[in-house]
Amino acid sequence: SPTIVWFREDFRLADNQALHEAVRHAQPLICLVILDDAQPTGSAAQWWLDGAIHALAADLRTKGGDLLVLRGPARRVMEQVVSATGAGAVFWNRRYDPQGRETDTAIKASLQAQGITVRSFAGALLHEPWTVRTQSGSPYKIFTAFWRAACTVPVQAFLRPAPEQMVFAEPGPALEALRLAPGQYGLLPTTPDWAGGLRETWVPGEAEARARLADFCRHDQVDYAQTRDFPAKESTSGLSPFLRFGHVSPARVWEEAQNSPSSEKFLTELGWRDFAWSLLFETPDLAQRNLRPEFDAMPWRADPKGLAAWQRGQTGYPLVDAGMRELWHTGIMHNRVRMVVASFLVKHLLIDWREGERWFADTLVDYDPASNPMNWQWGAGTGVDAAPYFRIMNPILQSQKFDPQGVYIRRWVPEIAHLSDKAIHTPWETGCRGYAAPIVEHTLARTRALAAWKAL
């Protein structure tokens, strides 16, 4: 009987343990994707998911197979596929978000009750959340301690090229009738089609992920530690959405990045990713609850106009606006700029970090339910291992320091592109028609934020 390989966040053929073990266990295979509306995904990430499915389907076709894409509640769909194909086993790689875990646990129990073999594997993280613990068995709350401990635990290292020989089962007429054809996944925007910038920027898929990784290891990594904070330098790997959708495994990134002399900083960033997932594992409501409860009393402002200006990149602060426009256009934003815009929303505008988290969740192609809320709580000062609230980033100084020639700003805020390298950080001083005046004055905003925090 066939074995079902259920792809979820692991759109790759190489280094994919569930797939490899299924090939070893019992062919023929049914390669399956289920589009389940209960599994939350933002709009930009849905666009990516569409591309990820197409890319995986194309890769499977080169092996003589195909990908069965169905829509509906995962548990019901899985039952249908098992009964229609007579599958004797279902294999998948584990996911760690609360919703996904709940679904997987329920499906596993119900399949096993019917005598079906279910096997799950690691592959999305360097260390699964429960493997890095304090001596008393509790989770780490501080990154440096977490990472020190994690570095003593071997990484999940399943490294294999795509299986050579794969045999595929026919799904049969009942499933053929339900199968979604490409173009029917319902993941792409219709009107308006806002995805033009995403299409210009990205090619989802395993081949592109591996090419980027190779390129990064060849060229960029040498300077990574020095240049990663400068958005115009584009010296970071650009791998985050590829990691998110599993086009490449973190174990593969870890392996290939090892040999570079300055890899330590880069690998530590991958550690932050693991840390975020371990935090979400312990704190399923990470995107809803202040990890520091004293912030529950914070007098956040209701400011729909300010929020809209921030979302559209119309705050009058060039670096903030450049970042928000980059995000809107491409679905990504440089990490340093993410920190600046997050601080601006939470401190300068005194708007609840959860508003920002939601906007990022909808617009980032690399959005994940662990890294996004963890980084927001970190920036807002509401997280456990967070920058203290009173450390308020000055958007002008950040701009002068990390985009000194205004190269990044000019790319995204063309209205002020003609200003000098000096004037571009403070366009209000020279007067610049066609560009927003600052929606809030820096010193006043800073004083207001500190007063709100002190009153807690």
Residues with a catalytic annotation lie at 269, 272, 300, 335, 353, 376
Question: Helix or strand or coil: residue 439?
Answer: coil
- In the DSSP assignment, the letter for residue 30 is E
Q: How far is the CB of 356 from ligand FAD (least distance, A)?
A: 7
Q: Please, what's the b/e burial string for 217-245 (b: 16 or more CB within 10 A of its CB; e: otherwise)?
A: beebbeebeeebbbbbbebbbbbbbbbbb
> Looking at beta carbons only, is 270 or 286 nearer to ligand FAD?
270
> Looking at beta carbons only, is 269 or 415 nearer to ligand FAD?
269
Q: How far is the CB of 267 from ligand FAD (least distance, A)?
A: 9
Question: Helix or strand or coil: residue 356?
Answer: helix
- Contacts with 90 (C-beta within 8 Å, 6 or more apart), sequence order: 3, 4, 6, 78, 82, 107, 111, 116, 117, 118, 119
Question: Helix or strand or coil: residue 294?
Answer: helix
Supply 69's token pair: 């894409």
> Looking at beta carbons only, is 91 or 389 nearer to ligand FAD?
389
Can you tell me the distance from the alpha carbon of 394 to that of 442, in angstroms, rounded to the nearest whole number?
8
> Looking at beta carbons only, is 21 or 274 nearer to ligand FAD?
274
Q: How far is the CB of 305 from ligand FAD (least distance, A)?
A: 22
Q: Which residue has the tokens 């266990």?
A: 25
> Looking at beta carbons only, is 85 or 236 nearer to ligand FAD?
236
Cα dihedral 186/192/194/196 (nearest 10): 90
Q: Which residue has the tokens 């993941």?
A: 187
Q: How far is the CB of 404 from ligand FAD (least distance, A)?
A: 20
Q: How far is the CB of 372 from ligand FAD (least distance, A)?
A: 3
Closest by alpha carbon to 412, among 343, 308, 320?
320
Can you tell me the distance from the alpha carbon of 109 to that of 118, in angstroms, rounded to the nearest whole number?
9
Give the binding site for ligand FAD (CB under 6 A): 228, 236-240, 243-244, 269-270, 272-273, 276, 335, 338-339, 342, 360, 364, 366-368, 371-372, 375-376, 379
Can you tell me the distance from the alpha carbon of 125 to that of 431, in angstroms, rounded to the nearest whole number?
49
